[in-house]
Amino acid sequence: MKHFAFHLKQSYPMPLVGIIGEREASPENSLRAYTVGHLLAEHGFAIICGGLGGVMEAACRGACDAGGLTLGILPGVDAAEANPYVQIAIVTGLNEARNLLIVRSALALIAIGGEYGTLSEMAFALKMNKPVIALHSWQPERPGVSHPTLYPAQTPEEAVERLLQFVSSPTVRERELPTARS
Amino acid sequence: MKHFAFHLKQSYPMPLVGIIGEREASPENSLRAYTVGHLLAEHGFAIICGGLGGVMEAACRGACDAGGLTLGILPGVDAAEANPYVQIAIVTGLNEARNLLIVRSALALIAIGGEYGTLSEMAFALKMNKPVIALHSWQPERPGVSHPTLYPAQTPEEAVERLLQFVSSPTVRERELPTARS
Amino acid sequence: MKHFAFHLKQSYPMPLVGIIGEREASPENSLRAYTVGHLLAEHGFAIICGGLGGVMEAACRGACDAGGLTLGILPGVDAAEANPYVQIAIVTGLNEARNLLIVRSALALIAIGGEYGTLSEMAFALKMNKPVIALHSWQPERPGVSHPTLYPAQTPEEAVERLLQFVSSPTVRERELPTARS
Amino acid sequence: MKHFAFHLKQSYPMPLVGIIGEREASPENSLRAYTVGHLLAEHGFAIICGGLGGVMEAACRGACDAGGLTLGILPGVDAAEANPYVQIAIVTGLNEARNLLIVRSALALIAIGGEYGTLSEMAFALKMNKPVIALHSWQPERPGVSHPTLYPAQTPEEAVERLLQFVSSPTVRERELPTARS
């Protein structure tokens, strides 16, 4: 535990990146989510998601495999609904209202594929002026409206690279700010 | 109060129609919202909305002028933030998470113009398979996805007519079911 | 509807009184709740409660029988869980978090009997400095702590009389303020 | 990060212990909270709390000093309101409704001192049959009602010892289940 605590002391509250996407994921989107989770963990980010299956599970698995930290914000009343790669489970009992907590807690979000729940999260994030990287996801249209913080991406690598333009990696920050909060 | 109580006894729980839309409303959308509120009240519907300004206030005003009932689901912690045409104020303290309550409580929704909050509500409604009539509002696009319960409309009259295809007017229902629950 | 609208115009947003209490109610507490609901409606108050059975249902029934208005703030995702005397159902999907909405929306509360859910509502109400009349309900103890807005009562009549010391009846207010908001 | 990931793999989802208590803490209760946080971290528990000042901050500080993990479930919309010892901040925007999330996510809770918010959390925890150790905190009274999962304690050491009767330490569990989920 010493190493863990030492590491966190350099950068907490930890920068969280949200991953949102469909529960019934296509194989392509599952692979994209796995890779995104893996890459984010390599860059030192913890990921926050809805904690269930599909894109959420694949992203958590990828992050775990790269030694990262995973948070699941669960809709129901039972921690047992978390996928096996959720390390910290927040049990809300709020049903879909829990979507907002993911958006509020994340510095930026990556949307992968996505059903209507993903669209709701994307809408909240854009309302809060948070960067959303859309990887094969929604494109909301309204005449005369552009989305200043919505960025399309074609590959996991491009998505994470895009994200790093807005949120600096904790690993980098530690090197730059070695005495922060110590 | 006798008349009020008598009326309600015929049809409760009252059928609620949700009105969602932008807080900073254009004059055109305010007029559309006023007319929608007025028409819905004429058909005997109570309306439920976010209780604040813009489209919400115009719709409540229209409903009040037609003798209808208006509910406002407020985001903050103070009933005083309700617009003056909210007859029943539900104070949630949930901020944007209150959007979900409007969607869940309504049988169907009419979206007028709209910012990102409206888009989030539309997404939740479509997820719950509730009819959403979009009057100069969002059109969410994703390759290969259609929206089986999203209907565009050009005028308030068309919007309410569309809505009546999914939700029967309480006035009509009373005539058809004179002894319901009495 | 005209009479209804006219009436409401005098006093909206309508003053709401919260009724909280046990779902598995004893016959004594059911009768108390019925009488409280009836008395509050006679005084022109709308009541707001959790919308389910036991004390909630008895209070709604009493209010309906006196021609009053009843609101149920439901924990689940389906309006059908409302008791038959809920006239307006707010469907939250928030489970127990919906308790807070009852407290926030009410000017004052009457607690009748009560389980732990009632205790949570009482705690929130006292935190917000709202009057709580406890009719055979909880008495939270902590050394050195008194409850400036918690009032015990022995009968429904005493409870409503107590409440009228804090919240003036809408009927009275209309007589005193005949031109308000018209 | 390797050490961190390795450690977590043995025991996730991590067992969380909730710490609830007053925001305006007396020096005695701050010290109690610090000690409780320290002891829980020594036993390998992560702690979850409301993330603000007083008892919450003291407990987080104690846990950090012992190399533990701290989660703060914040009521507002800004991560900056977290105390400096919150390592992971969940931003809810739900105001007091966030109290429920602490209770739902924790296996058991320790209440230290406490205002009405603490009482609400205690009520929810008892409703969910979760152990609550009350360290100089509330004692809710109602004739004929006992609290099967509420346990008073006089010292931090006694409180944590009590808690260990209900929730086994992750350190112990790892020794017993060395191959779990690997």
Mutate to test the interface with A, among C81, C90, C92, C95 (most CBs of A within 10 A): C95
Pairwise CB contact (< 8 Å): D97 & B93:
yes
> Can you give the pLDDT at residue D172?
56
Would you list which residues of chain A are within 8 Å, Cβ to Cβ, of chain B? 94-97, 100, 114-117, 119-120, 123-124, 126-127, 137-142
Tell whether ipTM is more than 0.90. no
pLDDT digits (tens, 9 = 90+) for C60-71: 999 999 999 999
Work out the widest C-alpha separation in chain B, in whole angstroms. Answer: 55
Cβ pair C97:A95 closer than 8 A: no
Which of B95, B98, B99 to probe by mutation at the D interface, max D CB count within 10 Å? B95
Asked if C104's CB is within 8 angstroms of B89's CB, the reply is no
**pLDDT value of residue C37:** 98
Label residue B11 by pLDDT band (50, 70, 90).
low
Q: Indicate whether B176 pLDDT > 60.
A: no
Q: Which of A61-70, B151-160, C109-118, D27-36 has the lowest mean pLDDT?
A: C109-118
Q: Specify the pLDDT at position D171.
A: 63
B7, B13, B71 member nearest C86 (Cβ): B13
Question: Which stretches of chain D sit within 8 Å of chain B by CB?
Answer: 77, 93-97
| Under-50 pLDDT residues of chain A | 1-10, 174-182
Q: Is the pLDDT confidence value at B60 over 60?
A: yes
pLDDT digits (tens, 9 = 90+) for B100-126: 999 999 999 999 998 898 999 999 999
| Contact: D137, C137; criterion CB under 8 Å | no
Chain-chain contact of A64 with D100 (C-beta, under 8 angstroms): no
Chain A closest CA to C59's CA: distance in Å?
A: 27
Best of A9, A12, A74 to disrupt the D interface (most D CBs within 10 Å) is A12
Question: CB burial class (10 A; 0-12, 13-18, 19+) of residue A127?
Answer: middle
With a pLDDT cut of 70, the percent of chain B lying above it is: 87
What's the CA angle centered on B161, arms B157 and B166, to 5 degrees? 150
What span, in angstroms and rounded, lies between the C-alpha atoms of D35 and B13?
53
Question: D94 CA to chain C: closest CA distance, Å?
Answer: 10
Question: What is the pLDDT at residue A34?
Answer: 98
Answer whether D94 sits within 8 Å of B95, measured CB to CB: yes
Burial of B107 (0-12, 13-18, 19+ CB in 10 A): middle
Q: What is the pLDDT of residue C92?
A: 98
Q: How far is C143 from chain B (nearest CA, A)?
A: 30
Report the pLDDT averaged over residues D83-105: 97
Average pLDDT of the residues in B62-86: 96
Whether residues D67 and A7 touch (CB distance < 8 A) is answered with no
Looking from the CA of B62 toward its CB, the CA atoms found within 13 Å total: 28
| Closest by Cα among A112, A98, A106 to A152 | A112
Interface B-D, measured as beta-carbon pairs within 8 A, has a size of 16
Q: Which of D115, D124, D139 sits opposite C120 (nearest CB)?
A: D124
pLDDT exceeds 70 at position D179: no
pLDDT at residue D155 in the model: 97
- Predicted confidence band of residue C55 (pLDDT cuts 50, 70, 90): very high
- Give me the pLDDT at residue A1, please: 28
Q: Is the pLDDT of residue B182 over 60?
A: no
Instruction: Decide: helix, strand or coil at residue C131.
Output: coil
Work out the minimum CA distance from A113 to partner chain B, whole angstroms.
Answer: 9
**Residue D141 pLDDT exceeds 50:** yes
Exposure of B158 by Cβ count < 10 A (0-12 exposed, 13-18 middle, 19+ buried)?
A: middle
If you search the block for the tokens 């005949």, which residue do you land on?
C178
Q: Chain A to chain D, count of Cβ pairs less than 8 Å apart?
A: 106
Answer whether residue B178 shows pLDDT above 60.
no
Question: Which of A95, A124, A139 is facing B141, going by the closest CB pair?
Answer: A139
**Hey, are the CB atoms on B127 and A97 less than 8 Å from each other?**
no
pTM of the model: 0.90
pLDDT, residue A10, reads: 41
- Nearest 10 degrees: Cα torsion A49, A53, A55, A61: 80
- Spatial distance between the Cα atoms of D166 and A139, rounded to a whole number of angstroms: 49
Which of D131, D62, D81, D68 shows the shortest CA–CA distance to D103?
A: D131
On chain D, the residues whose CB falls within 8 A of the CB of A7 are 1, 4
- The chain-wide mean pLDDT, for chain B, equals 87
Contacts of C142 in chain D (CB under 8 A): 114, 137-139
pLDDT at B6: 34
Instruction: Give B-chain residues touching A116 at CB under 8 angstroms.
Output: 123-124, 126-127
Mean pLDDT, all residues of chain C: 87
The percent of residues in chain A predicted with pLDDT above 90, rounded, is 74
Taking a C-beta distance cutoff of 8 angstroms, is the pair A21, A134 a contact? no
In DSSP notation, A101-155 reads HHHHH-SEEEEES--HHHHHHHHHHHHTT--EEEES--EEE-TT---TTEEEESS
Please judge whether B123 and A126 are an interchain contact, meaning their C-beta atoms are less than 8 angstroms apart. Answer: no
Question: Average per-residue pLDDT in chain D?
Answer: 87
State how far the Cα of D75 lies from the Cα of D95, in Å rounded to an integer: 4
The CA distance from A80 to A94, in Å, is 16
**Contact between chains at D95 and B97 (C-beta distance less than 8 A):** no
